[in-house]
Amino acid sequence: MPPSPPDPFSRPALFLDRDGVLNEDRGYVHRWEDFTWIPGARETVAAFNRAGWLVIVVTNQSGVGRGYYPEDDVHALHARMREDLARAGARIDAFYHAPQHPEAPVEAYRHPDPPLRKPNPGMLLQAMADWPIDREASLMIGDKPSDLEAALRAGVRGVLFEGGTCWNSCGTRTCCPREHGSELPAAPGRSGSGAVLEAWVPAFAGMSG
């Protein structure tokens, strides 16, 4: 099949992992009381909004499949995030979450290799089917190699965000490989404790720093 002509209305999308990128990853975060924004996250979302990018969250939520919390909690938390972002003049255009897990006790959430669950690219592919996205101009920021693998398999540039905390699976902040499927330069200021997501804005949203 020949490639379809570019959509004149397509826009770049900033795909964001959630836990460890937008908010501190404390392990299966599902209550607003346990939710803490990464410094600069809201401002970054707002900056990409102003630059005309779509901002889309793609988050594995196997806690649903594992039976730790109901899917309604995911929707409720994302609604609270939207409210709080609106107060900061920021907007996430869409949330995609992957509740499935290979060992889910509830059959509806059980799948041997869930297509939506990163490192599979299903959430990004679904977003690109739902929204007029300029794939080649888009960017995925994640804090784990599985985020960047999903991006790579969806044909989207991926970069590793190391400014967050990584409590549950890694134990330290610097345990993840620094580069994975990306030729992008390092974000300014990402080393050291002051690294914030805002560091990505000048480089990728076409703004002067």
**Residues 194, 209: Cα–Cα separation, whole Å:** 17
**Residues 94, 131: Cα–Cα separation, whole Å:** 9
Ramachandran class of 111: left when φ > 0, alpha when ψ lies in -120 to 50, beta otherwise: beta
Site for Mg ion in 17-56 (CB under 5 A): 17, 19-20
Asked if residue 162 binds Mg ion (CB under 5 A), the reply is no
Which tokens in the block code for residue 51?
């630059």
Q: Residue of minimal CB distance from Mg ion?
A: 20
Residues 6+ apart with CB under 8 A from 15: 56, 57, 58, 124, 127, 138, 139, 140, 141, 151, 156
Q: Which is nearer to Mg ion, 19 or 24 (CB)?
A: 19
Site for Mg ion in 138-157 (CB under 5 A): 143
Q: Which of 112, 123, 170, 185 is nearest to 149 (CA)?
A: 123
**Residues 201, 124: Cα–Cα separation, whole Å:** 21
Binding mask 114-143 toward Mg ion (x if CB under 5 A, else -) reads -----------------------------x
Catalytic residues, which ones? 17, 19
Q: How far is the CB of 17 from Mg ion (least distance, A)?
A: 4
Q: Which is nearer to Mg ion, 143 or 149 (CB)?
A: 143
Number of residues that bind Mg ion (CB under 5 A): 4
Which segment (11-19, 110-118, 131-139, 152-160) binds Mg ion by CB under 5 A?
A: 11-19
Which segment (10-18, 63-71, 105-113, 178-186) binds Mg ion by CB under 5 A?
A: 10-18
* Contact positions vs Mg ion (CB under 5 A): 17, 19-20, 143
